[in-house]
Amino acid sequence: MADPGTVAEGRHTDDVAALTAEYSRLPAGAGVRLAKPTSNLFRFRAPEGAGLDVGRFDRVLDVDRGTGRAQVQGMATYESIVDALLPAGYVPLVVPQLKTITLGGAVAGLGIEASSFRNGLPHESVRELEVLTGSGEVVRARPDNEHADLFRGFPNSYGTLGYALRLEIELERVHPYVRLRHLRFGSAQECADVLARICRDRAFDGERVDFLDGTVFTGTEQYLTLGTCTDEAPYTSDYTGQQVYYRSIQRRRADYLTVRDFLWRWDTDWFWCSRAFGAQHPLVRRLWPRRYRRSDAYRRIVAFDRRHGLTDRLAVLRGRGVNEPVIQDVEIPVDRLPEFLEFFHREIGISPVWLCPVRLRDRAGWPLYPMDPDTLYVNVGFWSAVGLEPGERPGRYNRAIERVVRDLDGHKSLYSDSYYPREEFWELYNRPAHQRLKERYDPDGRLPGLYEKCVGEK
């Protein structure tokens, strides 16, 4: 019988050959974009350029238990990766919260989760990248080969340099269950102080902490959730049915989940955003099919609304202003977190808010998203909309957030709307490094520029 890894390798080689042939047939000078069935970006624009079909690059090719590494195609979703790895007792070092985030997307953009305080960001566990570049060439980029510049510059490039076809990633062993402890704090300062100590010690009250994130409901009600892997559990909770996970944080001091349910605890209700569709109302929830209680189903609803402007039209008919989507993740140094939250409660008013600490593992750095490896950051995630005055155009609240994030020495992810002027954008996201990579790997400009892709004209 043929070795499964060899068969998968052969199929991958055929896939690459077919894709490069498709790329070569695109009209010279035509722009190129990915044509794929899912997206977790929140820049809703009309597609531009020829669509490149990469849907077949969606498999885990091989798992090497000896080295604790896996070969995974770039369009594989984390849901499919976990399904392939978990029976063998492994998961990626960082599993982003939403099932349809792809590995390639988490590396070309950014991903984060509750293991990031000890494992960094998803791209930091990548050991090799196979990339289809803008020039149509397929290269293998490693930290120690002739394409090390692409290896370092690929994170936060958002498809402006090329597309990841295959990645070699590090894995870690997991236990069957995760024990949760929810700690309540009355002030952001106290919460930030304890968070920093846990990240330093990787323990709390003498017990190891494997996962750490937080939820802010108000300025006087915030929680840290500490997860510890365990082989046994006296019970397990289920938040894929009638119960809603984030509400349990307020009601329970301790809890147990299977490792699979822990990894996807936020996906069932898209953190808390499913409430906008009524999916948390007990009656609606009973009628809402379980298979559609997941982040990609909710995003499709949002995409439809944004495409047709239904919510905005209704607001105007009622004599109100339109809503400004405020859907962002920002990294704030932990010692500036209380300042950011004070501003956020006062000026933005969205609740709840997610907290997730992160420290880089790799001291060499990542030029297009230059975080300080000596700094503990806290990712602050907020995903909602804020009403505007009649006639006011969106941008007011997002611009205010961008200003404060910069003033606090933070960073902003680029998966959603951005309003930076061109000059300021390039001060933050390293134009010289991106330009050098662009000249080498996309000399004819087949792929969009980073500013054009992530900001565009506002």
Phi-psi region of 52 (alpha: psi -120 to 50; beta: other; left: phi over 0): beta
Quote the tokens at residue 134: 């803008």
Looking at the domain 309-419, which fold is it?
A: Alpha-Beta Plaits (3.30.70)
Q: Is the pLDDT of residue 51 over 80?
A: no
Quote the tokens at residue 94: 């960082």
Are 119 and 94 contacting, i.e. CB atoms less than 8 angstroms apart? yes
Closest-CA residue to 414 (of 156, 122, 160, 102):
156
Instruction: Give the single-character DSSP code of 145.
Output: S
| Mean predicted confidence (pLDDT) in 301-321 | 82
Q: How many helices (H) and strands (E) does the chain have?
A: 16, 18
Local structure of 169: helix, strand or coil? strand
Q: Determine the Cα–Cα distance for residues 167 and 72; give it in Å rounded to an integer.
A: 5
Percent of the chain with pLDDT over 90: 82
Which residues neighbour 190 within 8 Å (Cβ) at sequence distance 6 or greater? none
Q: Determine the Cα–Cα distance for residues 151 and 142; give it in Å rounded to an integer.
A: 6
Q: Are strands 32-35 and 50-53 parallel, antiparallel or unpaired?
A: parallel
Structure confidence by residue, pLDDT tens digits, 326-338? 999 999 999 999 9
- Bigger pLDDT: 310 or 416? 416
Residue 52's pLDDT is: 80
Q: Determine the Cα–Cα distance for residues 432 and 253; give it in Å rounded to an integer.
A: 49
Radius of gyration of the chain (CA): 22
Local structure of 57: helix, strand or coil? coil
Residue 2's pLDDT is: 41
Domain extent listing, the chain = 4-32+49-174, 177-265, 309-419
Least confident range from 223-227, 354-358, 392-396: namely: 392-396
Q: Determine the Cα–Cα distance for residues 378 and 191; give it in Å rounded to an integer.
A: 11
43 phi/psi in degrees, rounded to 5: -115, 95
Q: Determine the Cα–Cα distance for residues 82 and 97; give it in Å rounded to an integer.
A: 12
| Mean predicted confidence (pLDDT) in 389-416 | 95
Q: What predicted TM-score, i.e. pTM, was given to this entire model?
A: 0.93
Q: How many residues does the chain have?
A: 458
Q: The domain 4-32+49-174 is classified under which CATH number: 2.60.120.10, 3.40.190.10, 3.30.465.10, 3.40.50.1700?
A: 3.30.465.10
